[in-house]
Chains A and B, each alone.
Chain A
Amino acid sequence: EIVMTQSPATLSVSPGERATLSCRASQSVSSNLAWYQQKPGQAPRLLIYGASTRATGIPARFSGSGSGTEFTLTISSLQSEDFAVYYCQQYNNWPPTWTFGQGTKVEIK
């Protein structure tokens, strides 16, 4: 079973600042890594897939990088609407299972 570990659990950032979120896989998932944003009371929204490809309609301030076991989501200049919980997800192994990290909460500093 692949375990996804996100850090930090909570990130306090001021509006306009950069946020860097990390996700580590217990074994290589190649580039089969996605990032989701979830706001309170809402369903998750796909931000990034293939480790670095932005989903349709996602602003350019969101970027993803990494491969293998180490991944990063960067929000270049935080807007008020970006304060949320972010989850990474792997979709690499066979037979298929999809594993989420425990989430990183980005809060206003």
Chain B
Amino acid sequence: QVQLVESGGGVVQPGGSLRLSCAASGFTFSSYGMHWVRQAPGKGLEWVAFIRYDGSNKYYADSVKGRFTISRDNSKNTLYLQMNSLRAEDTAVYYCAKDLAVAVSLGPFDYWGQGTLVTVSS
């Protein structure tokens, strides 16, 4: 069965950095695009970043562009999100999510991890 397990969340001061990881299993990781989506406490869902199945293309929400970097290691079945210059408004649960279709760069997300909480506070 498909499993996505996020890790790396925690408390960080404004301006600090954090790297999130998402360990994938139960599917051919190297064949699917992957996403990060976040949800601020009590708020709705916000797409953050996408990486193509082979890592060749990456896209970001305007709110994180230039501060966050998505990457993947297909040999380790792991997705990453490097977050720099963190702000209070980046406080959220961060989910990794898998594309529904193989090797498609535009589609819905069929599996989600349980999320990891990032709190930006002094």
Least CB separation from B109: chain A residue = A46
Known A-B contacts A46-B109, A91-B106, A91-B107; A102 and B100 likewise in contact (beta carbons under 8 Å): no
Interface size class of B (residues with CB under 8 A): 20 to 34
Measured CA separation A78–B28 after assembly (Å): 36
Known A-B contacts A43-B113, A87-B45, A102-B44; A96 and B108 likewise in contact (beta carbons under 8 Å): no
Q: Could you tell me the distance in whole angstroms from the C-beta of A5 to the nearest C-beta in chain B?
A: 12
CB pair A44–B45 under 8 Å, yes or no, is: yes
Least CB separation from A48: chain B residue = B108
Which one of B105, B108, B114 lies within 8 Å of A89 (CB-CB)? B108
Which B residues touch A99, using CB under 8 A?
Answer: 47
Which B residues touch A46, using CB under 8 A?
Answer: 100, 108-110
Known A-B contacts A34-B108, A91-B108, A98-B35; A103 and B50 likewise in contact (beta carbons under 8 Å): no
CB pair A43–B35 under 8 Å, yes or no, is: no
- 5 additional contacts, CB 8 Å, given A44-B109, A87-B44, A102-B44? A43-B95, A89-B108, A91-B108, A96-B59, A100-B47
Which residues of A come within 8 Å of B, CB atoms? 32, 34, 36, 38, 42-46, 49, 55-56, 87, 89, 91-92, 94-103
Which residues of B come within 8 Å of A, CB atoms? 35, 44-47, 50, 59, 61, 95, 100, 105-110, 112-115
